[in-house]
Amino acid sequence: MTTLKDIVSGFNPSVKYYFSLGNSSTISGSGTIDLLSQTKETVNSMKESQWIDYQNDWKLITIFLPCPSYFSGLQEAFLFDSIENLEGVLDFLYEEVPKAFVNLVDSTLLTFPHFNLHNAR
């Protein structure tokens, strides 16, 4: 399987890779994953890192969008919480992270491996 890291390395092998999961157990009061707290933690970690030049290096940030449980019945509430959460994350990244590309990945297809991508269209 080809990864984004493999593709970028094909164009520039000297690219540095910084990886952070943040505190993956951060849950908001409504039971949704708190992406903003994770984002702030990751950005603070990047700022403190001696490995990257935070102000001058370009950054590619990938956000895996959480999806509701297939059987939860709370999908509508989850959707509204997720949209507000994502807006907060993107606003924070815009204001705090210079030279960044943000990649949004729908984790629905990652969560349900039996899901047929061809039927999703």
Q: Which domain holds residue 40?
A: 19-120
| pLDDT, greater one: 12 or 99 | 99
Asked whether residue 41 is domain-assigned, the answer is yes
Query: DSSP 3-state helix, strand, coil percentages of the chain (rounded to 5)?
Result: 45, 15, 45
pLDDT of amino acid 100: 92
Asked whether residue 35 is domain-assigned, the answer is yes
Token pair belonging to 14: 């000297």
pLDDT at 120 exceeding the cut of 60: no
pLDDT of amino acid 55: 94
| pLDDT, greater one: 67 or 120 | 67
Q: How many domains would you assign to the chain? A: 1
- How many CA atoms lie less than 13 Å away from 50 in the CB half-sphere? 0
Long-range contacts of 6-11 (CB under 8 A, 24+ apart): 8/60
| Whole-prediction pTM | 0.69
Asked whether residue 14 is domain-assigned, the answer is no
pLDDT of amino acid 35: 82
The residues, ordered by sequence, that sit 6+ positions from 64 with a Cβ below 8 Å of its Cβ are 105, 107, 110
Mean pLDDT, to the nearest integer, of 10-39? 69
Asked whether residue 13 is domain-assigned, the answer is no
pLDDT at 19 exceeding the cut of 60: yes
Asked whether residue 96 is domain-assigned, the answer is yes
Q: Using 50, 70 and 90 to split pLDDT, how confident is the model at 14?
A: confident
Q: What is the pLDDT of residues 64-114, one digit of tens each?
A: 776 655 545 555 555 556 777 889 999 999 999 999 999 888 776 665 555
Asked whether residue 1 is domain-assigned, the answer is no
pLDDT of amino acid 23: 55
Asked whether residue 2 is domain-assigned, the answer is no
Determine what percent of the chain is predicted with pLDDT higher than 90. Answer: 19
Asked whether residue 56 is domain-assigned, the answer is yes
